[in-house]
Amino acid sequence: MLSRDGDPPEAGLTPAPAEGLNGPQAEAAAHVDGPMVVFAGAGSGKTRVITYRIANLLAACRVPPYRILAVTFTNKAAGEMKRRLERICGPELVRDLWVGTFHATCARLLRRHHEAAGLGKNFIVYDDDDQRAVMSRVFKELKIDDKRHPMRLVMGRIHREKQDGLLAADFTPGNPTEEVVARCFSEYERRLADANAVDFDDLLIRVLRIVEDERSAAGEELRKKFLHVLVDEFQDVNQVQYRLVRGLSRRSTNLFVVGDDDQSIYRWRGADVRIVRNFRRDHPGARIVKLEENYRSTSSVVTAALGVIRPATDREPKELWTNNPPGEPVAVVACATERDEAAFVAERVRELVDQGVSPADVAIFYRVHAQSRVLEEVLRSERLPFQVIGGVRFFERAEVKDLVSYLRVITNPRSDVDLLRIINVPSRKIGDTTVEKLAGLAAELKVPLFEALEPLVRSDRVGPQPKKALARLHALLSDLMTAADTAGPRDLAERVLDETGYARMLEAEGTDEAEGRLLNLRELLGSIEEYERETLAAAEVPTLAGYLEKVALVAVTDELKDAPKVAMMTVHAAKGLEFSHVFLTGMEEDMFPFRSMDPARSGDVEEERRLAYVAITRARARLWIFHAERRMVFGATKYGMPSRFLADLPKEVVTQQKTETMRSSQGRFIDRDGWGAKRPEASQGAPRLSWSHPQARTGGGLERPRLAAPSSERTPGERFIERDDDAPRAASLRRPAPVDVPAPRGLGPGSQVEHPSFGMGVVLEVDGSPDPTATVKFSGWSTKRIKVRFLEVVHQR
């Protein structure tokens, strides 16, 4: 259960056993040898099982924490699991556990083994945006016509290859289009390598390649490192992730996975349900446990969920049940428009809040982000506090990315896309022409753009004005790089804002928009500060690289704050969460199940069905499901009939309702029953377009002031940054071990030291030899014996 801390059990519901676990749960937590798969139905307490299993491994089996790896689906889930474990086992043991997402875990392992992966130490992680920027440079250089070969298709293809663990060298083109893909693929790879950067897929593939390399010493270390590997949400792993955990657990054979094939909703990004279904086949002798009792929801909700999932084909046989009382029926609400829908939602939320329900116990789900806008507008006008998860994400905002790019250039000057991003922001009179000349020279010299700056200034290829501008930029960045050696991440960020003139540029603008951007930057500084605090609290050294890594890997759900606000998110983002009151909007054919315009990407109705199941099972006590007669989709009015999934809801647990608007307009497109309605024929057309309701108006007076005063943009609804308890423990990057400095005298037990590969550690003992060796306990690693001269002393005892 990933609910917020301290959630009280709903009135009338049986809480999960307070102490100990029920039969199957206990079995899953206790049998600690060999492979094991747990089929855990929604709300059956799987997080609890994993948590207790780890506690058991630590306390009863005395497994060293740094030899346990637990892979979670989000950073937030990792943080919550750690917090729960701390309460059971105490912070000492928990600190050294490896708990994190696939990506965060791989990033951390890759810091240690960057050499085996052919990466520089301070490699950075490129997000989608960066990947696109790189690829558009590739297209330019290879002179590929974006019309004939749309970039997103090329990138999509490469992405799919990489999800199967394949790189450019493994790709054999079979047709002219693939020919183009192949060329882009290798050029893209080359550019990332030159930039000392990896993308999300690389993060996993690089580690996988090391793990699967029989001859590599690093591979051997990784294969031996973990005595226990546990994976949550196993139904959503892809082939690369599966091979990874197989490799990491091959020696120990202690691979423990928990999943629910009914909740597999990420096939579109490479997840493969067959992996969990075939687990037994792939692991002969694997123990199987099924958790089928739902502790979370009322029986009405469970019954509704079962109705939706039962028609699904090809499921692992299992039967979810609950002892909980029926509670309130599920309300299915017919609405006229999306605005009508939003108004009804807001009204109900208002009632709940007035009755004393915390807004934090309420969530609004939708299939696609685009649906959130109207809901936001109405909730804002009702002064209901809310937070939108995902959508235009904080770290994707231009100003935030700008500052992050500055910081990345400073840690890793080889990153061309970052330099290009900020080369003329704020305006320095370095335009396209100059940039192209710089790129040309860099290509000739075979150096990164940054290193071509000085040569270009010395050359006579550019005029005196650009020369001056380029020289100034070079001096500015060099200064900041020097400053990075001593200043902490937060101070450095502040200096960047100040010395680059970025802050001044925004202040000078004086618009509300600029004001908002400044506010976001301040928030970014706040997040760096928080990172510093958390890292120090964990007795580690905050580094810019550590922060940047964290930034790159925040997941949407990590953004959910513990705040008394209604949470609004896509159903995908809702996975793993639970709320006492849930509003599920947009349950119409073509919307949910979603149907893409592009027949090539026509969705998978089975997956949509599972998605609906996930949505329903998030609700503990009350669930409302909405469908609207018509809805504005991409600027055009679309008429939708109720989703087929509504017809699968058992009638006995459902009440049907209509909004006020629907009642007054006699629900003209919905038959009396509410479902099985026909899509209105075009011939019925004319009157419905002229039909007008004050709320149905588009364009008049209800527009949201998009760039309006930032304060009103942020409250009561706000988009914000993550608060993540799982700070990565990256080694210091800009401080090489002081090889020629004599070992500090008096370095005794208890001293805090830092090592470039292993990160922070505590000295247990030091021998008295002329070139002393220290025994050091590193967080996340076993105790190591290391020459003192390779250690940097952080705190001397």
What does each C-alpha distance from 263 to 91, 100, 259, 603, 606 come to in angstroms? 32, 20, 8, 16, 11
Written as six digits, the tokens of 240 are 């690369």
Residue 605 or 764: the one with the smaller Cβ distance to DNA is: 605
Instruction: State yes or no: residue 390 binds DNA (CB under 7 A).
Output: yes
| Smallest distance, DNA to C-beta of residue 340, A | 17
Q: Nearer Cβ to DNA, position 693 or 777? A: 693
Does the protein bind DNA through residue 472 (CB under 7 A)? no
Residue 83 interacts with DNA (CB under 7 A): yes or no: no
Tell me the C-alpha distance between 697 and 695, whole Å: 5
Q: For residue 564, state whether it binds DNA (rule: CB under 7 A).
A: no
618 is catalytic: yes
For position 234 contacting DNA by CB under 7 A, the verdict is no
Nearer to DNA, 267 or 280 (CB): 267
Closer to DNA at the Cβ: 324 or 557?
557
Q: Is residue 56 close enough to count as binding DNA by CB under 7 A?
A: no
What gap in Å lies between CA 422 and CA 400, rounded to an integer?
12
99 Cβ neighbours under 8 A, 6+ residues apart: 69, 70, 72, 78, 81, 82, 726
Q: Of the candidates 4, 137, 159, 688, which one interacts with DNA according to CB under 7 A?
A: 159
635 touches DNA by CB under 7 A? yes
Interface segment toward DNA; rule CB under 7 A; list 354-362, 566-574, 740-748, 785-793: 566-574
The footprint of DNA on this chain (CB under 7 A) covers a number of residues equal to: 51
DSSP string, 591-619: BTTB--SSGGG---HHHHHHHHHHHHHTE
* Residue 699 binds DNA, judged by CB under 7 A: yes
**CB closer to DNA out of 380 and 622:** 380
Which of 59, 370, 445, 741 contacts DNA by CB under 7 A? 370
* Radius of gyration, alpha carbons of the chain: 28
**Region at 237 (left for phi over 0; alpha for psi -120 to 50; beta for the rest):** beta
Distance CA(45)–CA(48), nearest Å, equals 5
Q: Which amino acid is at 113?
A: H
Specify the residue, 104 or 766, whose C-beta has the smaller distance to DNA. 104
- Of the residues 47, 249, 412, 434, which one makes contact with DNA according to CB under 7 A: 434
291 near DNA (CB under 7 A): no
Residues present in the chain in total: 797
Give the interface segment with DNA, choosing from 164-172, 347-355, 596-604, 733-741 (CB under 7 A).
Answer: 596-604
C-alpha–C-alpha distance, residues 94 and 446, integer Å: 47
**Shortest Cβ 458–DNA spacing (Å):** 18
Residue 87 found at the interface with DNA (CB under 7 A)? no
Q: Residue 386: phi, psi to the nearest 5? A: -150, 160
One of 46, 243, 397, 428 is an active-site residue; which one?
A: 46
> Is 47 among the residues known to form the active site?
yes
What minimum distance in Å lies between the beta carbon of 350 and DNA?
25
Dig out the tokens for 461 from the structure.
Answer: 């290829």
The amino acid occupying position 512 is: D
Among the listed residues 594, 675, 583, the one whose alpha carbon sits nearest the alpha carbon of residue 629: 675
> CB-based burial of residue 88 (10 Å sphere; 0-12 exposed, 13-18 middle, 19+ buried)?
middle
- Pick the stretch among 98-106, 335-343, 665-673, 683-691 that binds DNA (CB under 7 A): 98-106
> Tokens 């657990």 identify what position?
249
Q: Does 101 bind DNA (CB under 7 A)?
A: yes
Select from 636, 686, 689, 739 the one that contacts DNA (CB under 7 A): 636
CA 697, CA 9: separation in Å to the nearest integer? 42
Q: Please report whether residue 739 would count as binding DNA according to CB under 7 A.
A: no
| Spatial separation of the C-alpha atoms in residues 279 and 316, rounded to whole Å | 12
Considering only 102, 242, 450, 645, the residue that binds DNA (CB under 7 A) is 102
For DNA, which stretch binds (CB under 7 A), given 224-232, 422-430, 686-694, 730-738?
422-430
By CB under 7 A, tell whether 650 contacts DNA: no
Q: Which one of 233, 261, 534, 713 is the catalytic residue?
A: 233
| Interface with DNA (CB under 7 A), residue from 269, 504, 785, 797 | 269
Output the smallest distance, CB 719 to DNA, in A. 13
427: left (phi over 0), alpha (psi -120 to 50) or beta: beta
Binding mask 111-140 for DNA (x = CB under 7 A): -----------------x-------x----
Tell me the CA distances in angstroms from 165 to 209, 276, 648, 678, one per residue in order. 9, 19, 39, 46
Nearer to DNA, 106 or 677 (CB): 106
Q: Which residue out of 96, 161, 232, 418 is catalytically annotated?
A: 232
Q: Does 598 bind DNA (CB under 7 A)?
A: yes
Three-state SS annotation for 200-256:
HHHHHHHHHHHHCCCCCHHHHHHHHHCCEEEECCHHHCEHHHHHHHHHHCCCCCCEE
CA 69 from centre of chain: 19
Is 346 a binding residue for DNA by CB under 7 A? The answer is no
CB of 338 to DNA, least distance (A): 12
What is the largest distance, in Å, between two alpha-carbon atoms of the chain?
95
Q: Does 596 bind DNA (CB under 7 A)?
A: yes
Q: Known catalytic residue: 263?
A: yes
Gap between the Cα atoms of 294 and 320, Å rounded: 7
Q: Which member of 249, 415, 527, 557 binds DNA (CB under 7 A)?
A: 557
Residue 447: count other Cβ atoms within 10 Å of its Cβ. Answer: 15
Residue written as token pair 């690389």:
202
Beta strands 619-628 and 330-335, pairing class:
parallel
182's CB contacts (< 8 A; 6+ apart) are: 168, 171, 172, 173
Q: Angle CA(498)–CA(503)–CA(505) in degrees, nearest 5?
A: 120
Among 22, 216, 424, 478, binds DNA (CB under 7 A): 424
> If binding is defined by CB under 7 A, does position 381 make contact with DNA?
no
Q: By CB under 7 A, tell whether 692 contacts DNA.
A: no
Nearer to DNA, 268 or 691 (CB): 268
Q: Is the backbone of residue 586 left (phi > 0), alpha (psi -120 to 50) or beta?
A: left
Residues numbered 701-720 forming contacts with DNA, rule: CB under 7 A: 706
Determine whether 290 is an active site residue: no
Number of C-beta neighbours around residue 567 at 10 A: 25
Query: Taking the complex as a whole, how short is the minimal distance between the CB of residue 136 and DNA, in angstroms?
Result: 6
Answer for which of 11, 18, 169, 597 binds DNA (CB under 7 A) is 597
Asked about 25 being catalytic, the answer comes back as no
Question: Shortest approach of DNA to residue 207 CB, angstroms?
Answer: 14
State the DSSP code for 691: -
To DNA, the closest distance from the beta carbon of 146 in angstroms equals 7
Q: Residues with Cβ < 8 Å from 381, sequence gap 6 or more?
A: none
Q: Which range in 216-224, 311-319, 429-437, 779-787 contacts DNA by CB under 7 A?
A: 429-437
Contact call for residue 632 and DNA (CB under 7 A) = yes
What is the footprint of DNA within residues 172-231 (CB under 7 A)? 200-201
Catalytic residue among 157, 408, 609, 618: 618
Q: How far apart are CA 797 and CA 787, in angstroms?
A: 17
Active site residues: 46-47, 232-233, 263, 618
Q: Which residues of the shown chain bind DNA in the complex (CB under 7 A)?
A: 74, 101-104, 128, 136, 150, 152, 159, 200-201, 268-269, 367-370, 373, 390, 424, 427-434, 466, 553, 555-557, 569-570, 572-573, 594, 596-598, 601, 603, 632, 634-636, 698-699, 706
